[in-house]
Amino acid sequence: MTPPTSSARHGIVPPFLLSRIARLDEAVLDHAPAAARRTLGIDEPFREQRGDERTLPGLVRSSARTALGSTVRGSAAPGAPDRLIFDARGGEDLPGVEVRAEGEPDTGDVAVSQAYDGLGDTYALFWDAFGRDSIDDEGMRLDATVHFGERYDNAFWDGARMVFGDGDGEIFRGFTGSLSIIGHELAHGVTERTANLVYQGQSGALNEHVSDVFGVLVEQRLLGHTAREATWLVGAGVFTEEVRGEAIRSMRAPGTAYDDPMLGADPQPAHMRDYVETSDDNGGVHINSGIPNRAFVALAETLGGHAGERAGRIWYETLTGGRITATASFAQFAGATLSVARELYGTDAVEAAAVADAWESVGVVPA
């Protein structure tokens, strides 16, 4: 299947957070402000420039050749991943130098190993839980590039591959260290090839939301955690010890992932009454995703057990079953999940009632 032609590129670190870092005092931090400006410059061609980023001092527009690439059909049999890892060696040209193919031994490079293992864990979730054969359900090869850019403060899906920066070392660590980030970004590929949710406003927040869902489900599957045992953190461990924060986002408690003098407070709302109207961040896609995130956790904890078994199944069928449009609102997505729950488990089933209650708890009325 040919990847979508949209120029949207989905980075795990939102632009408003990078913009804040870019303005920090360089007398206090050696690398982080310049690294954030460079990261924004690399990412800028792939999103509409909005808000105060337009006037950010020192923002360097990058000439990095990172256009959407073509995907490759994998050679492995269904049920097994076909992975290929590249090394950008600090450059910005993709894909970089091939360093590890499927079945080859560990190279000794931690980032290569983490990317290789994370791609396999993500493939395993989609295959074991949903019977999906890779991102496109046709055995697509899973490609990733590590060591992208100079202190690049992000990880992204570009339509063909995962790309990981090593972070600035002051605020961010290397992004291959978080399995939920790897799962999140690869899930953007699944969304592109199914509902293809438009990356703007509520449909864009849903795009981010479903990536958060499958990102944490990958991690929960590996750790064997039930819904109540799980942390529900996206990007745990990616901040250095200098930051007062657990992760980039908390699905269980949106708005609490970090509260730091340098970064400010996590801006995510957990209820529609606090929905953020903004022109930044493609209409708040990384902000308002907290609302459906909280609804999903409420559902998963109500149902109990492993979240991928029932709550995850409902969300997967909603995303892939042709029930929502590319511009779906929260209410429309909620209505689709309720319909799916009734189809899978019965109109009067506890699963259907739990879906309705979960959306009600965050102020969303299913359409």
> Does the pLDDT of residue 3 top 80, yes or no?
no
The rounded mean pLDDT for the chain is 91
> Does the pLDDT of residue 64 top 80, yes or no?
no
Compare 219 and 67 and report the one with higher pLDDT.
Answer: 219
Average of per-residue pLDDT across 327-341: 98
Contact in structure between 135 and 189 (CB atoms under 8 Å): yes
| Residue among 266, 254, 323, 325 at smallest CA distance from 293 | 254
User: pLDDT value at position 7?
Assistant: 44
Given the residues 170, 185, 246, 301, select the one marked as catalytic: 185
Average of per-residue pLDDT across 8-34: 89
- The DSSP H or E segment spanning 98 is strand 97-101
Average of per-residue pLDDT across 81-86: 98
Between CA 299 and CA 358 the distance in angstroms is 5
Q: Residue 43 — very low, low, confident or very high, per pLDDT cuts 50/70/90?
A: confident
Which residues are within 8 A (CB) of 137 and not within 5 positions of it... i.e. 6 or more apart? 193
Contact in structure between 101 and 86 (CB atoms under 8 Å): no
Given the residues 147, 188, 286, 306, select the one marked as catalytic: 286
Residues of 72-89 as b/e, b for ≥16 C-beta within 10 angstroms?
Answer: eebebeeebbbbbbbbbe
Residues of the chain with pLDDT > 70, as a percent, come to: 91
> Does the pLDDT of residue 65 top 90, yes or no?
no
Looking at the DSSP bridge assignments, the partners of residue 163 are: 145, 156
User: pLDDT value at position 8?
Assistant: 59
**Hey, what domains does the chain have and what are their CATH numbers?**
83-192 (3.10.170.10)
Average of per-residue pLDDT across 49-56: 39
- Express each pLDDT in 265-296 by its tens digit: 999 999 999 999 999 999 999 999 999 999 99
Average of per-residue pLDDT across 7-30: 86
Q: Residue 30 — very low, low, confident or very high, per pLDDT cuts 50/70/90?
A: confident
- Express each pLDDT in 224-238 by its tens digit: 999 999 999 999 999
Average of per-residue pLDDT across 18-38: 91
User: pLDDT value at position 28?
Assistant: 77
User: pLDDT value at position 27?
Assistant: 72
> Does the pLDDT of residue 58 top 80, yes or no?
no
- Express each pLDDT in 97-146 by its tens digit: 999 999 999 999 999 999 999 999 999 999 999 999 999 999 999 999 99
Which tokens go with 90?
């600090």
Catalytic residue status for 271: no
User: pLDDT value at position 187?
Assistant: 97
- Express each pLDDT in 170-189 by its tens digit: 999 999 999 999 999 999 99
Catalytic residue status for 225: no
> Does the pLDDT of residue 57 top 80, yes or no?
no
Q: Is 122 helix (H, G, I), strand (E, B) or coil?
A: helix
Between CA 107 and CA 118 the distance in angstroms is 15
Residue 195 dihedral angles phi and psi, to the nearest 5°? -70, -25
Between CA 164 and CA 152 the distance in angstroms is 8
> Does the pLDDT of residue 167 top 50, yes or no?
yes
